[in-house]
């Protein structure tokens, strides 16, 4: 009755040493917190300072365990899709205040459907148009929120 | 008492009924999307509730909550994609039933079980929560400091990806919570001179980004694993024999769920596994489990709903969210002007009972809606993820804007979406981060107030009876796993894979070979995850402090079988998520306060991977 789920490989795992990068980021974040907390001085700075030290400590533990812990997933060609999607969303945010949400919404949906999702042209156009109209009706028409809109 | 009845009168107003209904439906709609569990669903749908009256909004949230819970069940049974970790065990028998053409019966019994478990749990909550709240009225800053720390610690202990990673994520969450104006001195902290940050980071974009967008980006990278939906579901009403077979399982599941749900952490997850394990152990024909035993669906589904409901107790009575979903609900309630905490029931009884009664209503509507509408939801499953993903993303982005009418918030969603995606890649669970963020300001404020109270002498925490006990519990949570690790290293040979642990119900046999119910995606992660079992925490009896005073039975990550070879051939073959605690060489025994007896439930890392991935 059901189709077998397609067995698809998850991204391969990176070298265990990649855990060191994650650990280093945790330590750096802790360091930033400590530095920021120092400039705030005691009082407002005490708590962030404490959290910063905890982060540094945890980061060091993570680094020590880097070889034993399961490594992060490797970035694959699929990761480029994520980069494209994020770029698209940043562009969306950048223009929405000036030109309203309709055109960016239409474009974002279309690009995502056609190029990221590899839907057919017909589906992509139909769904992106349909979604934009529904969002307009919902947010501008029904909910009357103050989202910047062109029309 | 009159407040309870007044609450019902409010809830039963037609508008409120309608909103609850809409909540259940859209909760299920989003909940059936792969990868979006209740926390993500609620986060994404939060903006929908903003324009409403507080009571109506809370009622709608309850509807969304129950709908999203059930949405995960639908995908577990039909697609063997658990929407959340607490539905993972449902997959075993639920999907087996679906393959026998009995998906309808599985979904029907799940709905009935969820309804009964949820309702019994609400009844118990109605009785227990005010008592706990009364007790907690005496809590001062020191108690809250330790309680918040304990909550974060326990959630980190049960979370996926390893305890240190979870704690690091939680610490980052605490750090995010410090952004903005300091409550005591009005000094601006970490705002980088940005006006939008002066009031601090908003909770909603963080939850939307980490849970919702991060998940969608992650799935995008996997190119939306093509999964096809089943053709149709018939015969939704379980047969009389099914009901008879399941009645015991539903009863026991309700109790296990309620008791374990009170605990901070993965109450729903632990309880679904414990309930399944208990049924299997009690059964005269345990071999039926995994091959379509109806109790194997009824028990975990009842338990996870009961647990999801009882995890409202620490939230409503102490103001401490017990897990990531509760953290999102906490944020949602705050926005509606409802501050969960011990004062809620005494100072705003109408709101408190409004919340509780809306849960009754959400549960009833779930039962009424789910069975006739199953066909519709099954049809939704046929819509491809490639189509649903962009629509969900746009709902998230536009929704984020509508909260504060702020474009900056959309930017935050994207930033946290990217962070969520990267964390997922690196094996960090975003749950503790969100939880710690929510508790961050409470924790800092209470800590600073306590230190003022104690003249900067931290030993003051030990001199107050309640906070002293809580500190002891907190230390136990930290130290027990360490001790266990040391002991295990000493007795390394004894703790090999497959070492029997008589106390724990054994889920292992079903996972011994390459198995039908593999949880696909976990192939690579399951590896050590399978062995990295964690034992739960046990409540300190049924006393009023149950939620808070949970005393851990032990919370050690158990790295018994780290077997590379296993990993390479995809350890998901080993039932992916659930392994008998015995196999891990470590009895993860969860002592319920009485009724639940002893039920061991172990959660492999892959469990929550399933939650995050699917």
What is the phi-psi region of residue B292: left when phi exceeds 0, alpha when psi lies from -120 to 50, beta otherwise? left
**How far apart (Å, rounded) are the C-alpha atoms in residues A74 and A12?**
6
Same domain, B363 and B436: yes
pLDDT score at B255: 92
> What is the average pLDDT across B170-191?
89
Evaluate whether residue B576 is within a structural domain: yes
Residues A61 and A91 in one domain: no
Cα separation, B379 vs B382, in Å, equals 5
Expressed as residue numbers, the domain containing A7 is 1-74
Confirm whether A147 is domain-assigned. Answer: no
Q: Domain ends where: B409, B429, B462?
A: B462
Q: List C-alpha distances in Å: B558 to B201, B231, B379, B553, B604.
A: 36, 42, 42, 14, 10
Q: Which of B95, B99, B398 sits opposite A101 (nearest CB)?
A: B398
Per-residue pLDDT band at A8 (split at 50, 70, 90): very low
Q: What is the DSSP letter of B533?
A: E
Q: Give residue B264's pLDDT band: very low, low, confident or very high (50, 70, 90).
A: low
Q: What is the DSSP letter of A116?
A: I
The verdict on B497 and B412 lying in the same domain is no
Q: Is residue B471 part of a domain?
A: no
Q: Kindly state whether residues B331 and B297 are assigned to the same domain.
A: yes
What is the DSSP pairing of strand B537-538 with strand B551-552?
antiparallel
Name the DSSP class of B196: G
Same domain as B323, residue B292: yes
Q: Quick one: B111 and B164 in the same domain? A: yes
Q: How far is B183 from chain A (nearest CA, A)?
A: 9
Q: Which span out of A56-70, B68-82, B230-244 was modeled with the highest average pLDDT?
A: A56-70
Asked if the structure places residue A86 within a domain, the reply is yes
pLDDT, tens digit (0-9, with 9 covering 90-100), for A99-136: 989 999 999 999 999 988 888 999 999 999 999 999 88
Contacts of residue B390, defined as CB under 8 A and 6 or more positions apart, other chains included, come to A108, A109, A112, A113, A116, A117, A127, A128, A131
Let me know: does B150 contact B473? Beta carbons within 8 Å.
Answer: yes
Question: Do residues B297 and B261 both lie within one domain?
Answer: yes
The per-residue pLDDT of chain B, averaged, comes to 74
- Domain assignment present for A63: yes
Q: Can you list the alpha helix ranges (DSSP code H) found in B222-348? A: 240-261, 267-282, 295-310, 312-313, 324-335, 342-347
Same domain, A1 and A24: yes
Q: Tell me: do A83 and A56 sit in the same domain.
A: no
Q: Does A151 fall in a domain?
A: no
Distance, CA of B92 to chain centre: 20
Instruction: DSSP letter for A113, please.
Output: I
- How far CA A8 is from CA of A11, A80, B42, B226, B570, in Å, comes to 9, 18, 29, 9, 12
The reply to whether B336 and B381 lie within a common domain is: yes
Please give, rounded to a whole number of angstroms, the shortest distance from the CA of A109 to a CA of chain B. 6
- CA–CA dist B574, B584 (Å, integer): 13
Instruction: Considering only the beta carbons, identify the residue of B168, B221, B447 that sits closest to A47.
Output: B447
Q: From B244, B256, B336, select the one nearest B295 (Cα to Cα).
A: B244
B64 or B51, greater pLDDT: B64
Return the residue of B nearest to A58 by Cα: B168
Contact A81 B226 (CB under 8 A): no
Task: Specify the pLDDT at position B266.
Answer: 59
Integer Cα distance of B492 and B559 in angstroms: 11
Q: Kindly state the average pLDDT of the residues B584-600.
A: 32
Q: Do A143 and B391 touch (CB under 8 A)?
A: no
- Same structural domain, A83 and A68: no
| Cα B51 from chain centroid (whole Å) | 27
- For residue B236, pLDDT beyond 80: no
Tell me the CA distances in angstroms from B88 to A41, B58, B134, B421, one per residue in order. 48, 28, 36, 22
pLDDT tens by residue, B389-439:
888 899 889 888 888 888 999 999 999 999 999 998 998 988 889 989 988
Is the CB of residue B556 less than 8 Å from the CB of residue B272? Answer: no
Q: Which residue has the higher pLDDT, B301 or B501?
A: B301
Residue A91 in domain: yes
The structure's pTM equals: 0.77
Q: What percent of chain B has pLDDT over 90?
A: 13
List, as one string, the DSSP characters of B441-481: HHHHHHHHHHHHHTTT-TTHHHHSHHHHHHHHHHHHHHHHH
In this structure, are A31 and A61 located in the same domain?
Answer: yes
Q: Please list every residue in chain A whose beta carbon sits closer than 8 Å to the beta carbon of residue B223.
A: 8, 78, 81
Is the domain of A6 the same as that of A68? yes
H or E element at residue B551: strand B551-552
What pLDDT is stored for residue B509 in this prediction?
Answer: 37
* pLDDT single digits (tens) B239-254: 888 888 888 999 999 9
Tell me how far apart the terminal alpha carbons of chain A are, to the nearest angstrom: 47
Please name the residues in contact with A102: beta carbons below 8 A apart, sequence gap of 6 or more.
Answer: A132, A136, A149, A150, A151
CA torsion B48-B52-B54-B58 (nearest 10°) is -40
Q: What CA–CA distance (Å, rounded) separates B428 from B430?
A: 6
* B157 has a pLDDT exceeding 90: no
Shared domain for A90 and A68, answered yes or no, is no
**Where does a domain end: A74, A106, A124?**
A74
In a domain, B158, yes or no: yes
Q: What total number of domains does chain B contain? A: 2
- Quick check: B393 contacting A, CB < 8 Å? yes
How far is the alpha carbon of A122 from chain B, nearest alpha carbon, in Å?
12
The three state secondary structure string of B368-389 is: HHHHHHHHHHHHHHCCCHHHHH
In a domain, residue B516? The reply is: yes
- Residue B411 contacts A, CB cutoff 8 Å: yes
**B354/B490 same-domain check:** no
- Indicate if A65 and A6 belong to the same structural domain: yes
**How sure is the predictor about B206, in pLDDT bands with cuts at 50, 70 and 90?**
very high
pLDDT of residue A10: 59
Residue A84 to residue A66: CA distance in whole angstroms: 30
Substitution target in B29, B49, B390 with the highest count of A β-carbons within 10 Å is: B390
* Buried b / exposed e along B75-90 (16+ C-beta atoms within 10 A): bbbbbbbbbbbbbbbb
B341 and B374, same structural domain?
yes
Same domain, B262 and B210: yes
Across the interface, which of B171, B220, B527 has its CB nearest the CB of A54? B171
Evaluate whether B25 touches B67 at the Cβ level (below 8 Å).
yes
Q: Three-class SS of residue B35?
A: coil
- Within the 515-544 window of chain B, which residues sit less than 8 Å (CB to CB) from chain A? 520-521, 523-525, 527-529
| pLDDT band, residue B173 (cuts 50/70/90) | very high
What total of structural domains would you count in chain A?
A: 2
Higher pLDDT, residue B234 or A106? A106
Verify that A68 and A93 share a domain, yes or no. no
Same domain, A106 and A132: yes
A1 with B98: Cβ contact below 8 A: yes
Q: What are phi and psi of B195, to 5 degrees?
A: -65, -35
Give the model's pLDDT for residue B537.
32
Q: Which pLDDT tens digit goes with each residue over B344-396?
A: 888 888 778 888 888 888 888 888 877 777 777 777 777 777 888 888 899 88
Of B187, B418, B428, the CB nearest to A40: B187
Note whether A32 and A88 are same-domain residues. Answer: no
Using pLDDT thresholds of 50, 70 and 90, give the confidence band for residue A87. very high
Give the structural domain span for B603: 480-613
pLDDT of residue B225: 56
Same-domain status, A81 and A121: yes
Decide which of B462, B493, B528 is a domain's last residue.
B462
B468 found inside a domain: no
Check whether residue B381 and residue B239 sit in a common domain: yes
Are B50 and B79 contained in the same domain? Answer: yes
User: Of B428, B462, B496, which marks where a domain is finished?
Assistant: B462
pLDDT at residue A2, rounded to an integer: 36
The residue among A74, A93, A119 that closes a domain is: A74
Characterize the bridge pairing of strands B532-533 and B188-189: unpaired
User: B165 vs A62: CB contact, 8 Å cut-off?
Assistant: yes
At B559, the pLDDT band (50, 70, 90 cuts) reads very low
Higher pLDDT, B217 or B236: B217
Enter the DSSP assignment of B532.
E
pLDDT at B576: 35
pLDDT of the residue at A11: 66
Q: Chain B closest CA to A15's CA: distance in Å?
A: 12
Domain boundary residue, one of A74, A96, A123 = A74
Measured between beta carbons, which residues in chain A are less than 8 angstroms from residue B515?
Answer: none
Closest by Cα among B588, B29, B42 to B333: B42
**B99: nearest CB among A2, A5, A131:** A2
Q: Alpha carbon B195 to chain centroid distance? A: 34
Q: What is the pLDDT of residue B323?
A: 82
Which residues are CB-neighbours of B23 under 8 A, at least 6 positions away?
Answer: B59, B60, B61, B62, B63, B64, B65, B67, B362
Residue B475 lies in a domain: no
- Residue B594 vs residue A61, higher pLDDT: A61
């Amino acid at each position: 009755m059901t189709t077998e789920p397609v067995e698809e490989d998850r991204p391969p795992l990176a070298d265990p040493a990649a855990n060191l990068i994650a650990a280093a980021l945790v330590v750096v974040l802790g360091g930033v917190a400590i530095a920021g907390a120092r400039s705030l001085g005691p009082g407002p700075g005490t708590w962030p300072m404490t959290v910063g030290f905890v982060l540094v400590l945890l980061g060091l533990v993570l680094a020590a365990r880097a070889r034993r812990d399961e490594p992060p997933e490797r970035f694959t060609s699929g990761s480029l899709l994520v980069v494209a999607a994020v770029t698209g969303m940043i562009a969306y945010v950048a223009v929405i205040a000036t030109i309203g949400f309709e055109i960016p919404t239409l474009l974002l949906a279309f690009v995502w459907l056609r190029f990221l999702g590899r839907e057919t042209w017909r589906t992509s156009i139909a769904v992106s148009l349909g979604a934009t109209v529904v969002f307009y009706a919902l947010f501008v028409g029904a909910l009357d929120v103050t989202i910047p809109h062109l029309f | 008492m009159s407040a309870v009845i007044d609450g019902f009168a409010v809830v039963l107003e037609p508008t409120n009924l309608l909103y609850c209904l809409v909540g259940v439906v859209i909760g299920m709609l989003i909940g059936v999307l792969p990868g979006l569990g209740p926390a993500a669903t609620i986060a994404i749908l939060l903006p929908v509730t903003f324009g409403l009256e507080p009571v109506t909004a809370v009622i709608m949230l309850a509807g969304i909550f129950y709908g999203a819970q059930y949405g995960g069940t639908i995908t577990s049974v039909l697609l063997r994609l658990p929407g959340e970790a607490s539905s993972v065990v449902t997959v075993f028998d639920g999907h087996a039933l679906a393959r026998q053409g009995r998906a309808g019966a599985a979904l029907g019994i799940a709905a009935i079980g969820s309804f009964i478990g949820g309702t019994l749990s609400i009844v118990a909550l109605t009785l227990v929560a005010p008592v706990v709240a009364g007790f907690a009225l005496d809590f001062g800053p020191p108690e809250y400091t330790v309680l918040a720390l304990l909550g974060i610690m326990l959630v980190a202990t049960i979370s996926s990806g390893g305890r240190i990673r979870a704690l690091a994520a939680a610490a980052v969450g605490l750090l995010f919570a410090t952004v903005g104006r300091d409550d005591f001195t009005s000094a601006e902290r970490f705002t980088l001179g940005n006006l939008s940050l002066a009031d601090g980071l908003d909770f909603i974009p963080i939850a939307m980004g980490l849970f919702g967008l991060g998940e969608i980006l992650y799935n995008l990278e996997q190119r939306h694993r093509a999964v096809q939906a089943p053709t149709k579901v018939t015969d939704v009403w379980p047969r009389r024999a099914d009901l008879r077979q399941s009645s015991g399982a539903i009863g026991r599941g309700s109790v296990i769920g309620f008791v374990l749900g009170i605990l901070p952490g993965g109450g729903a997850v632990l309880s679904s596994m414990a309930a399944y394990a208990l049924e299997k152990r009690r059964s005269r024909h345990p071999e039926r489990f995994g091959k379509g035993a109806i109790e194997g669906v009824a028990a975990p589904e009842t338990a996870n709903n009961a647990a999801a409901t009882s995890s409202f107790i620490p939230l409503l009575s102490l103001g401490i969210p017990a897990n990531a979903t509760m953290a999102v609900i906490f944020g949602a309630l705050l926005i509606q002007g409802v501050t969960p905490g011990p004062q809620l029931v005494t100072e705003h009884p109408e709101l408190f009972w409004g919340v509780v009664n809306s849960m009754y209503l959400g549960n009833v509507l779930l039962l009424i809606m789910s069975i006739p509408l199953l066909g519709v939801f099954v049809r939704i499953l046929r819509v491809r993820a490639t189509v649903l993903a962009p629509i969900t993303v746009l709902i998230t982005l536009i929704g984020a804007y509508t909260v504060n009418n702020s474009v900056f918030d959309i930017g935050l969603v994207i930033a946290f979406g990217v962070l969520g995606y990267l964390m997922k890649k690196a094996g960090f669970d975003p749950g503790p981060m969100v939880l710690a963020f929510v508790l961050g300001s409470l924790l800092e404020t209470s800590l600073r107030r306590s230190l003022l109270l104690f003249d900067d002498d931290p030993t003051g925490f030990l001199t107050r009876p309640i906070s002293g006990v809580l500190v002891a519990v907190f230390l136990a949570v930290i130290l027990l796993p360490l001790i266990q690790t040391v002991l295990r290293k000493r007795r390394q040979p004894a703790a090999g894979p497959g070492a029997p642990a008589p106390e724990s119900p054994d889920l292992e046999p079903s996972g011994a070979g390459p198995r039908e119910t593999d949880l696909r995606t976990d192939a690579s992660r399951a590896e050590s995850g399978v062995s990295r079992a964690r034992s739960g925490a046990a409540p300190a009896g049924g006393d009023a402090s149950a939620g808070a005073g949970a005393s851990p039975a032990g919370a050690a990550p158990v790295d018994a079988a780290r077997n590379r070879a296993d990993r390479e051939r995809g350890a998901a073959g080993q039932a992916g998520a659930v392994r008998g605690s015995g196999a891990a060489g470590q009895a993860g025994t969860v002592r319920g306060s009485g009724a639940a007896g002893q039920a061991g439930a172990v959660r492999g890392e892959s469990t929550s991977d399933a939650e995050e991935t699917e």
